[in-house]
Amino acid sequence: MGRIIGLDFGSMTCGVAISDPLLITAQPIETIRRTHETKLRKTLARIEALIAEYEVDRIVLGLPKMLDNTEGERAAKSREFAAHLERRTGLQVILWDERLSTVEASRVLDEVGYGYVKKGEVIDKLAAVIILQSYLNFLANSK
């Protein structure tokens, strides 16, 4: 079994994290930035390159639900992005409830003393780590 890639898909960025080979921990890789919300070609190409580099066989994509468990516009865009990923990579995309992952990432960065500018550089990939680690914990507890 290969590694799992975790994605935090935002309007202009996509945070990326990767599991270790034993599927125990998630580590940040990078934040992919776009110049326009609808321009996804380079984002998809970069994700494909990372999938090949890390020998990934599954994708976990954060699904931004509302606190009341309903789905809004961001969730719809994430579902659309998941469909693009599945078509381009042929891999299964697991949509994972990411409620409050960015809030949690921001809290962690505040605790370690990141300023606003530095926080913007890492928050998306840290959110991807939180999403992926949550999924890995679920897998570990499902055994």
Domain locations in the chain as residue ranges? 3-141
Per-residue pLDDT of the chain (143 residues; tens, 9 = 90+): 799 999 999 989 999 999 999 999 999 999 999 999 889 999 999 999 999 999 999 999 999 987 788 888 999 999 999 999 999 999 999 999 887 666 666 677 677 666 655 555 677 888 899 999 999 999 999 87
CATH superfamily of 3-141: YqgF/RNase H-like domain (3.30.420.140)
DSSP type of residue 69: S
What pLDDT is attached to residue 103? Answer: 65
Round to whole Å and give the CA distance between 63 and 78.
6
Quick check: 21 and 3 in contact, CB under 8 A? yes
What is the DSSP pairing of strand 56-63 with strand 13-19?
A: unpaired
From start to end of the chain, where are the E strands? 3-9, 13-19, 26-33, 56-63, 92-97
What pLDDT is attached to residue 38? Answer: 86
